[in-house]
Every structure is written in C-alpha cells, then in structure tokens.
Amino acid sequence: MATQTTAVPGRFTFLQAAIALQTAALFFQAATAGLLLSSSYGATLHDVGSRVMYGASMLYVLVAVLAWRPGGGPARPALYATGFLVLASAQVVLGIAHVPSLHVPLGILMFGLSVLDLGRVLSTARSAGRPAERP
C-alpha cells in the first residue's frame, strides 16, 4: 500500500533541497565560466563545479525516484530529474570536447529549466500548505 506524502508548511523536503542544490551548482558554473575567461584559477573552479553539478543532478534523480516509488508521490519530478541528468551528461561531453558553441547555450538552458523547476517545487509545497478557500 502506497502512502501519499504531503508537504508540511515551513518544512524543507529532500526534493526541494536536491533541486535547490542543483540550481545553486548551475549558478556557480555560470559564475566560474566567466572566471574561466578572466583568471588563471577559473578553469579549476569550473572543473570542480562541474563535478558537483553532476553529483547534484544524480542526487536529484535519486531523491525524486524515492519520493515517487516508495513515497507514493507523483512521477513528474522523477521524469524532470532524469531529463536534467541527460542534459548534464550531454553538458559534460560537450565540455570535455571543448565545443563552447553548444556547451554555453545548453548551460543557460539547464539553469533556466532548473530555476523553473525549483519554482514549481516551492510553489507546489506552498499551495499544499494553504487551507482550502471557502466559496
């Protein structure tokens, strides 16, 4: 028997934490991409950030699947997380191959999608905690 999990107002869930970490890692990657062009240590920071971002994407998949299957939650976050992991894998391949004409726009797209997903997760949690309005 699956139990339906609901968001508790004022509590930060693992799913929210995972998508927030992924979004922060993508923002860090954007900042270090600029440093890559202007300083000697930018390449090191961007390389370390890429590993953190990929790890955050894998963590998001794990948390989303655990919230979906055993937790009884919706499947949509697991699909979004899997899509992010596919995009992150493509991003790594393009970065290693030094193809900035595709690597940079894909990074911008990933950051935008991650911000939208974070907003969706946070707004869903906020609306789940509201009492029903009377007619």
Whether pTM > 0.75 for this model: the answer is yes
Residue 6 belongs to a domain: no
SS3 (DSSP) at 25 = helix
Residue 44 belongs to a domain: yes
Which pLDDT tens digit goes with each residue over 23-51?
999 999 999 998 988 888 999 999 999 99
Which pLDDT tens digit goes with each residue over 68-120?
888 788 899 899 999 999 999 999 999 999 999 999 999 999 999 999 999 99
Phi, psi (deg, nearest 5) at residue 34: -65, -40
Residue 132 belongs to a domain: no
Residue 116 belongs to a domain: yes
Residue 133 belongs to a domain: no
Residue 130 belongs to a domain: no
Number of domain units in the chain = 1
Residue 68: count of CB within 10 angstroms of its CB: 20
Residue 2 belongs to a domain: no
Residue 43 belongs to a domain: yes
